[in-house]
Amino acid sequence: MVVDNNWFDMFDYKILQGSLDYFLENPGSVILTRSKAANYFGNLPPLGQRLYIDSVEYSVAAIIENIPANSSFQQDVLISNTAFNEKRKSILDTWGYYSQLLFIKLSPGASVEEAEKKISKIFSEGQPWRDKSPPSRLVPLADLHFETDLLDRVIPHGNIRNLWIFSVLAVLLLAVASVNFVNLSIGRIGFRMKEFGIRKTIGASKYQLFIQVMVETFLSVTMAAGVALLLVVLFLPTFNVFIERSLVLDLLDPWIGSLILGVVLLVLTMTGLYPALALATLRPVSLLKNEALAGFSRQGFRKMSVTGQLVFTMVMLVGVVTIHRQFTFIQQQTESYQMDQVFRLNFSFPVGFASNDEVAVEHHMTRVTSVKTRLLASSSIQFVSQVNGASIVDDKRKQPVKVAWSGYSEQQEPTDAVMIWADENYAEMANLTLVAGRWFNQANAADKYNLVLNETAVKAFGLEEPVVGTSFAEGLMSDQGGIIIGVVKDYHHKSLHEKIDPIVFTLDPFGAPSYLVKANAGSVTQALDHARKVWNEFTPEQPFEYAFLDEEFDRLYKDDRKALMLSLTFGGLSVLLSCLGLLGMITVSVLQRTKEIGIRKVLGASVSGIVSLLSKNLVKLVVVAIHIASPLAWYAMNRWLADFAYRIAIEWWMFGIAGLMAVGIALATVSFQAVRAAVANPVDSLRSE
């Protein structure tokens, strides 16, 4: 990270060795984190050691403590911007060079709104060529991590919506598990009624029975908490890889300790209080005659809890189906790119390169052409396209564009559009579909000033048919006018979360040193080896770097992929918890109706009839849950899909699948217990009479 002298006045770093003063006074020095210094120099004393960055020699001025995992600034090498040569400084001082972030510390009591207005005025005065500069907006540092409107990618950003969604789901899962524990505890009461009845008969007080049940529940919850913490320790490394973070479980941290204690007490209250109070207040006669469960069964609590769990499970199942279909839809939009065969190389402009230096431009253009020719010299490479550093699947570089179209009234405001400088091979490389006209021809000198637009750009500029042949008096890169020679079909040049932008294609005027390389099938390794040789031939001072299109695609949708994995996990857990809830309910029902089942069997009832008798109430609850869950799932998934500019439609069959799965889960869960009760010997259930 390149910083100025004020950086350390605004942000705190712990200095382990060396001094900031030496770093600030010596432009050729560098600051390293403790781990980075160990990586470079091992056990050698790091201060004064020399290293090269982009062929420039630096000496180590200071060592700082490693950057915390929750910091927005994860760079572990700091360079002073005074180290740049004069040519580079002149570029940095120009208003059209967007290369640095600006952090501002306001004076105490200063108005944020007033500061934004004054900053906007400064930008307007510094950029007179722009008819209207966008208003400046100051983002508080504390809000930076969840800010979604910034185009900067240096600072890692989180998704506050996903954080809230999965936090709420975690709380709901904990609540459902607690309710299930209560249901299962009530189910177990049938096996201990005589125990509690005898205890009361020989003099046990309500208080003693209440304490006994609460202590038993406390031991269960405490053991569960211990197992949970063990699982966290075991799975935390895998989870850190999944979320690309470095979380640690510090049990000595007061906040974490308080959180764990609070959860244990909350679960203890939710799971132990109701069964303990219910048992402690029952009469001994009711306990000894197994009449206690009748009181519990009249309560609607258990049915409501099971219905709630089924609703939660159905919503999760609809969510899993919807997220999976949306992710499949995303992959279908880019499946024609053969992403595992296309990689990108980004050579750099020469240091101090200026577009107004004709000699430098000519030399650079020759170099750019030579690189492309050398890349194509290998039989392992099918296509090479030169472009201005853009990814096919992730290009957000909008800028204001104003064109004087012949025959049209003058634009009052510039149109924000993506400018792509490309060569004659780009349309084939990016699988662009021409809906009108043609693509550029390098041999046609006039194409140097002509344009190709996408369909969205045609609409944004307000052009009417026939679009091809529309002329303009002043070009985008020069004073020379030209015509529109083609229109390409809209394609997703960035995430499907965002709408397609107007795109203006031109033949590259300045020799953008980036290349898209498509390898022949089965020759990717050979293509990379050849590209490495070409890289070392033209840029030996820089390490060979490349990026495959499928890697860029994965990075673009990694949050959505994580959402899919987490939804599958939460969906599986919700299904498991629903099974436990249904099991608790059928257990209580069977215990309560043991004698009824015995009498029915004596009178000739069949096994299937008894299973149907025990299952029909649960099926009714499933039907009720389907009616409640469907509108909730529809609303929740519509809210989630609203984050995508291009999305699937929620269809009725998604709810049908979720409903059938819920019915299947319910029947599969209760069938074992119901069949077991139906085939039991009626003598065992009736002999106490």
- The pTM of the full predicted model, rounded to 2 decimals, is 0.69
Q: What pLDDT digit, counting tens, does each position of 643-652 carry? A: 888 888 888 8
AA identity, residue 663: V
Q: At residue 584, does pLDDT exceed 50?
A: yes
Predicted local distance difference test score (pLDDT) of residue 548: 87
Q: At residue 541, does pLDDT exceed 60?
A: yes
User: CB–CB of 63/29 below 8 Å?
Assistant: no
In a domain, 571, yes or no: yes
On whether both 306 and 409 belong to a single domain, the answer is no
On whether both 235 and 351 belong to a single domain, the answer is no
User: CB–CB of 348/538 below 8 Å?
Assistant: no
Q: Which of 146, 175, 196 is the last residue of a domain?
A: 146
Q: Which of 146, 176, 207 is the last residue of a domain?
A: 146
User: CB–CB of 494/439 below 8 Å?
Assistant: no
Least confident of 211-215, 479-483, 591-595, 637-641: 591-595
Q: What is the SS3 string spanning 503-568?
A: EEEEECCCCCCEEEEEECCCCHHHHHHHHHHHHHHHCCCCCCCEEEHHHHHHHHCHHHHHHHHHHH
On whether both 76 and 192 belong to a single domain, the answer is no
In a domain, 155, yes or no: no
On whether both 443 and 302 belong to a single domain, the answer is no
On whether both 359 and 260 belong to a single domain, the answer is no
Residues with Cβ < 8 Å from 358, sequence gap 6 or more? Answer: none
Nearest Cα residue to 550 out of 541, 558, 539? 558
On whether both 549 and 599 belong to a single domain, the answer is no
User: CB–CB of 681/602 below 8 Å?
Assistant: no
Q: What pLDDT digit, counting tens, does each position of 207-222 carry? A: 787 888 888 888 989 9
Separation CA 455–CA 498 (nearest Å): 16
**What are φ and ψ of residue 498, in 5° steps?**
-120, 150
On whether both 458 and 322 belong to a single domain, the answer is no
User: CB–CB of 625/631 below 8 Å?
Assistant: no
Question: By residue range, what is the domain housing residue 52?
Answer: 2-146
On whether both 224 and 262 belong to a single domain, the answer is yes
State mean pLDDT over 582-609.
Answer: 72
Predicted local distance difference test score (pLDDT) of residue 297: 46
In a domain, 153, yes or no: no
Residue 328 binned pLDDT confidence (cut-offs 50, 70, 90): confident
In a domain, 300, yes or no: yes
Encode 2-13: b = buried (16+ Cβ within 10 Å), e = exposed: bbeeebbeeeeb
State mean pLDDT over 393-411.
Answer: 80
In a domain, 311, yes or no: yes
Predicted local distance difference test score (pLDDT) of residue 592: 65
Residue with the two structure tokens 């303009």: 472
State mean pLDDT over 280-291.
Answer: 58
Residue 526 binned pLDDT confidence (cut-offs 50, 70, 90): very high
In a domain, 56, yes or no: yes
Mind giving me the DSSP string for 146-177? Answer: G--S----SS----HHHHHHHHHHHHHHHHHH
Separation CA 577–CA 285 (nearest Å): 34
Residues with Cβ < 8 Å from 655, sequence gap 6 or more? Answer: 318, 626, 630, 633, 634
Report residue 162 as tokens. Answer: 């996903």
On whether both 542 and 591 belong to a single domain, the answer is no
Separation CA 260–CA 391 (nearest Å): 45
Q: Which of 530, 556, 582 is the last residue of a domain?
A: 556
On whether both 550 and 562 belong to a single domain, the answer is no
Predicted local distance difference test score (pLDDT) of residue 87: 54
Least confident of 45-54, 376-385, 394-403, 488-497: 394-403
Q: At residue 231, does pLDDT exceed 90?
A: yes
Q: At residue 442, does pLDDT exceed 80?
A: yes
Domain count across the chain: 3
On whether both 385 and 527 belong to a single domain, the answer is yes
Q: At residue 523, does pLDDT exceed 50?
A: yes
Question: Across all residues in the chain, what is the average pLDDT?
Answer: 80
- Higher-confidence residue: 291 or 66? 66
User: CB–CB of 686/602 below 8 Å?
Assistant: yes
In a domain, 152, yes or no: no
β-bridge mates for residue 381, sequence order:
519
On whether both 534 and 392 belong to a single domain, the answer is yes
In a domain, 523, yes or no: yes
Q: What pLDDT digit, counting tens, does each position of 152-201 carry? A: 556 777 777 778 878 888 888 888 888 777 777 766 665 666 677 777 77
